[in-house]
Amino acid sequence: MKKRIITRRDFLKVAALTPLAGAVPFSVYSNQAKVTKKEILKSRVVLIRDKDALMASGSPNQEIIQKMLDEAVTTLLGGNDPVACWKTLIKPNDIVGIKSNVWSYIPTTKEVEQAIWRRVRDAGVPENNIGIDDRGVRRNPVFQNATALINARPARTHHWSGMGSCIKNYITFVPRPSAHHGNSCADLAKIWTDYNLKDKTKLNILVMLTPLFHGIGPHHYSQKYVWDYKGLIVGTDPVAVDATGLRVLEAKRREFFGEERGLQPPAKHILLADTRHHLGTSDPEKIELIKLGWEESRLI
Amino acid sequence: MSEDLKNKQMELRDLLPMEINGWKVAEEDREFNPETIFDYIDGAGEVYRAYNFEKLLSRHYFKKGQPKIVADVFDMGTSADAFGVFTHDLEGEDLGIGQGSTYNGGLLSFWKDRFFLSLYAEEETAQAKKALIALGKSIADSIPKNGEKPRIVSFLPEEGLLEKSIHYFHNHIILNYHLFVADENILFLDQKTEAALTTYSLQEEKSILLCIIYHDSEKALHAYKSFIQAYMPDASEEGLVKTEDNKWTAAKLQEDLLIVVFNAPTYFSAKEMIQKVLELRNQK
């Protein structure tokens, strides 16, 4: 079947249904989606914030981060005890890769890595079967043999893909990342199936402690466009996690610029991860969003 | 040796001072090419590749108690592409450095001749801003001549043109970055096509003008037909259509030049815009 070309006019047609002119309307692409059984169930995502998540120095507060992660995981999985919940995700004989992100301006942070590491250990995994890595995952024996992955990265706008997302965080599993830059990284989700990462991934954590909502210049960074949101978004569905984070970034841009300013380029890889690659759910209507903690300026 | 050849052989490192306002170089310079640029700036490298960049030199400056300053100098090969990559991000204040500059949030960018400069302070302080401006001026002075803007820019009518709205580029990824037209390359843009996109204020509405010069008339005709078929199959014979937002889109081909007007408030304003472009082109 010949692929349908989507044009600006398709967006004009659905504009009345999507008051946010800069956003990529779901319905433009939705005719490409197959309705699967999974879509009938809502994807659950937990957004947790704590006003004390960052210390005066700007560094994350380890104790608070652990508490936020524990509360998010127990809420997500419907339990009371964080360790018991982690044991439903990770088995003691698993080899666990904690996929981090080392971008110099806004990394995953040691505190988030440590909070995850601690709970993986509590689930009974020996220390030598746990690895934390980003750009070295292809050479790291733990990741080469991993039976389970925890995916944790900071949320930020991105010059080429629109948003640095949990989906995008697996780009370092690819030998030549630039091969996935086509059409502003539209098909990043394919990495998850091509490299057998989808089923291994047990949890996705989008770190929203100090997100970047707008980027400038070759390094796509300015402190001017970073704010203390002090949040984490946690879920088993990476697409739902990213779609929720995207809503926060878009809301912040709206607030800051005083007008609708969609991401440039739009983070269409998140939408296409759903409609084309069936990795998860991007439609907010199909996401059960549970909001916990600090409510001020939550934006969504 | 001719002046032009000497200029072509100018080393990037010669453009940058070793010290500025007390900031000193304390690390080795790093050089990148279109293949290695991703090691330095990840996906953003695609922007510079889209403008056919040839070389990048990065130099870092340090001063105690002040943020690091990162100077990235790109040799774009031609002044058209230096201008083009500068127009990719026009947000900020023009400080009158080089042939066009912007300053925003600790980032000073400018272009001169075939070079594009990005000077960035990792934290925005008053001292750092002064140093960035001094560094920018020093570099601009060390580039001996100005470069020409691409010819297609001269086809853009001035009346109603919004400030800082001209984007010059080659491929459809950059077009879609500024204005989403279609997910497929229905205009057959490539690394050699020359395109200019700009915004006009017409009758209190924002209209968008896209001009593209193809390698030859045949390719331009092919692109025109493709655009009409994919984007405006309901267009009149003269290439106009009223779109879903009650505005007008118009497309016109003249030899190797394709002109498209989006969001025109009326049928007549769309036609008038095209006519003005053709007149300017025919004057050149």
The DSSP H or E segment spanning A201 is strand A201-212
Confidence of residue A32 (pLDDT cuts 50, 70, 90): very low
Within 8 A of B46 by CB-CB distance, chain A residues are: 159-160, 178, 181
B14 touches chain A (CB under 8 A): no
Cβ B136 vs Cβ B98: under 8 Å: yes
The two domains B3-142 and B151-283 share their CATH topology (first three levels equal)? yes
> Do the Cβ atoms of B47 and A160 come within 8 Å?
yes
Q: Closest-CA residue in chain A for B187?
A: A7
* Strand partners for B249: B241
Distance from CA of A235 to the nearest CA of B (A): 26
Q: Tokens 């990235």 identify what position?
A: B72
Cβ A31 vs Cβ A274: under 8 Å: no
Q: In this complex, which of A6, A218, A223 lies closest to B123 when CB atoms are compared?
A: A223
- Tokens at residue A92, please? 């003691």
What amino acid occupies position B239?
G
A12 touches chain B (CB under 8 A): yes
Q: Closest-CA residue in chain A for B48?
A: A218
Q: Average of pLDDT values for B220-237? A: 96
Q: Tokens 């949320």 identify what position?
A: A155
Q: Average of pLDDT values for A125-140? A: 97
pLDDT for residue A16 is more than 80: no
What residue ranges do the domains of chain B occupy? Answer: 3-142, 151-283
Cβ A205 vs Cβ A150: under 8 Å: yes
For an interface test with A, which of B123, B244, B263 has the most A Cβ atoms less than 10 Å from its Cβ? Answer: B244
Scan residues 36-75 of B and list those with Cβ closer than 8 Å to A: 38, 41-48, 70, 72
pLDDT for residue A102 is more than 80: yes
Q: Give the max Cα distance, chain B.
A: 68
**Predicted pLDDT at A28:** 59
**Predicted pLDDT at B169:** 98
> Do the Cβ atoms of A8 and B72 come within 8 Å?
no
Query: B41: how many CB neighbours lie within 10 A of its CB?
Result: 22
pLDDT for residue A38 is more than 50: no
Q: Closest-CA residue in chain B for A135?
A: B39
A222 touches chain B (CB under 8 A): yes
Within 8 A of B179 by CB-CB distance, chain A residues are: 8
B107 touches chain A (CB under 8 A): yes
Distance from CA of A138 to the nearest CA of B (A): 16
Confidence of residue B124 (pLDDT cuts 50, 70, 90): very high
**Predicted pLDDT at B191:** 94
Within 8 A of B109 by CB-CB distance, chain A residues are: 217
Distance from CA of A79 to the nearest CA of B (A): 40
Within 8 A of A186 by CB-CB distance, chain B residues are: 183
State chain A's mean pLDDT as an integer.
91
Residue B223 phi, psi dihedral angles, 5° rounding: -70, -40
In the DSSP assignment, the letter for residue A258 is S
Q: What is the pLDDT of residues A191-217, one digit of tens each?
A: 999 999 999 999 999 999 999 999 999
**Predicted pLDDT at B43:** 74
> Do the Cβ atoms of B178 and A184 come within 8 Å?
no
Cβ B276 vs Cβ B157: under 8 Å: yes
Identify the three-state secondary structure at position A291.
strand
CA–CA distance, B103 with B94 (Å, rounded to integer):
6
Q: Classify residue B27 as exposed, middle or buried by CB count within 10 Å of its CB (0-12, 13-18, 19+).
A: exposed
- CATH number 3.30.70 given to B3-142: no
Identify the three-state secondary structure at position A57.
coil
Closest residue by Cα to residue B122 from B102, B139, B105: B105
Within 8 A of B180 by CB-CB distance, chain A residues are: 8, 11, 266
Confidence of residue B192 (pLDDT cuts 50, 70, 90): very high
Q: In this complex, which of A181, A185, A223 lies closest to B124 when CB atoms are compared?
A: A223
Within 8 A of A18 by CB-CB distance, chain B residues are: none
Confidence of residue B7 (pLDDT cuts 50, 70, 90): low
Q: Average of pLDDT values for A178-200? A: 91
Q: Closest-CA residue in chain B for A8?
A: B181
**Predicted pLDDT at A3:** 67
* CATH assignment of B151-283, among 3.40.1000, 3.30.720, 1.20.1260, 3.10.20: 3.40.1000
B67 upstream amide cis, omega within 30 of 0: no
Q: Can you give chain B as a three-state secondary structure string? A: CCHHHHHHCCCHHHHCCCEECCEEECCCCEEECCCCCHHHHHHHHHHHHHCCCCEEEEEEEECCCCCCEEEEEEECCCHHHHHHHHCCCCCCECCCCCCCEEEECCEEEEEECCEEEEEEECCCCHHHHHHHHHHHHHHHHHCCCCCCCCHHHHHCCCCCECCCCCEEECCHHHHHHHCCCECCCCCCCCCCCEEEEEEEEECCEEEEEEEEECCCHHHHHHHHHHHHHHHCCCCCCCCEEECCCCCEEEEEEECCEEEEEEEECCHHHHHHHHHHHHHHHHHC
What is the residue-wise DSSP string for A87-140? HHH--TT--EEEE----SSS---HHHHHHHHHHHHHTT--GGGEEEESTTTTT-
Q: Which of A34-43, B76-85, B143-152 has the lowest mean pLDDT?
A: A34-43
Query: A36: how many CB neighbours lie within 10 A of its CB?
Result: 8
Q: Which of A35-49, A208-222, B218-232 has the lowest mean pLDDT?
A: A35-49
Confidence of residue A37 (pLDDT cuts 50, 70, 90): very low
> Do the Cβ atoms of B120 and A219 come within 8 Å?
yes
Q: In this complex, which of A8, A181, A222 lies closest to B107 when CB atoms are compared?
A: A222
Q: Closest-CA residue in chain B for A222?
A: B105
Distance from CA of A288 to the nearest CA of B (A): 30
**Predicted pLDDT at A12:** 85
Q: Closest-CA residue in chain B for A226?
A: B105
Within 8 A of B70 by CB-CB distance, chain A residues are: 219
Within 8 A of A266 by CB-CB distance, chain B residues are: 180
Identify the three-state secondary structure at position A154.
strand
Scan residues 249-268 of B and list those with Cβ closer than 8 Å to A: 262
A265 touches chain B (CB under 8 A): yes
